[in-house]
Amino acid sequence: MRSSGKPARSGAAHADGTGRPDEVHVWDLVVRLAHWPLVVAVVATWFTRHAGAWHEWIGYFALGVVALRVVWGIVGTRHARFADFVRAPSATATYARQVIGRNEPRYLGHNPLGGWMVVCLLGAVFLSGFTGWLYTTDRFWGVEWVETMHRVSAYALYGLAALHVAGVVFTSLRHGENLVAAMITGRKRAQP
């Protein structure tokens, strides 16, 4: 499904007194509070990669945020749920062809490519954090494959994050809406 809820009537006030009448609430507080601290944590891991304990604690924090987001992806509000935005490979391929053809539909929640990006980013944070933790244990300290897996997953995470930012900019320009602002306020323009 491409939209959620009914768009607010033009000129009507929201029941909660917030936002504009041509906007709808999409991203709940948990999604937004998971997103932005995770952004900060991923950036911070780069700058603390040689800082020992700081790097470790930031990694543990990131793992906690991922755990919260996964739970919320199962039990959370409509657009927070994986079931709302993780689509079959065939539907995702169709959407990708529509993007190339410049005729893709707008989604209130994550589009199919964005949905898979969420899964990939969460997976990369988990893998990087888990292998980082393994490397601090007595059993795996100094084990080369663990260190390599940690480094490769971290670089994959940074690459995915850059691709995610590019996708957000592309989609924002394509559909004439500020997706960064939407992830701050939780609101997006209503479907026509």
Residue type, position 174, single letter: R
Beta strand segments in the chain, E: 23-25, 187-189
Q: Rounded distance, CA 74 to CA 72, Å?
A: 5
Share of the chain above pLDDT 70, in %: 89
Under DSSP, is residue 153 helix (H, G, I), strand (E, B) or coil? helix
How far lies 20's CA from each of 16, 24, 30, 192, in Å?
11, 8, 22, 15
pLDDT at residue 18, as a whole number:
55
How far lies 156's CA from each of 42, 91, 149, 187, in Å?
12, 25, 10, 30
Q: Region 20-31: what's the mean pLDDT?
A: 90
- DSSP one-letter code for 24: E
Q: What is the DSSP string of 2-61?
A: ---SPPPPTTPPPTTS-S-TTEEE-S-HHHHHHHHHHHHHHHHHHHTTTSTHHHHHHHHH
pLDDT at residue 12 above 50? no
What is the β-pairing status of strands 23-25 and 187-189? antiparallel
Q: pLDDT, tens digit, for every residue of 50-83? A: 988 999 999 999 999 999 999 999 999 999 999 9
CB 91 within 8 A of CB 104: no
Q: Rounded distance, CA 121 to CA 161, Å?
A: 7
In the block, which residue shows the tokens 């999604």?
Answer: 31
pLDDT at residue 191, as a whole number:
76
Q: Rounded distance, CA 132 to CA 140, Å?
A: 10
Residue type, position 75, single letter: V
Locate 120 and state its tokens. 């990939």
pLDDT at residue 2, as a whole number:
43
Residues pairing with 189 in the sheet: 23
pLDDT at residue 4 above 80? no
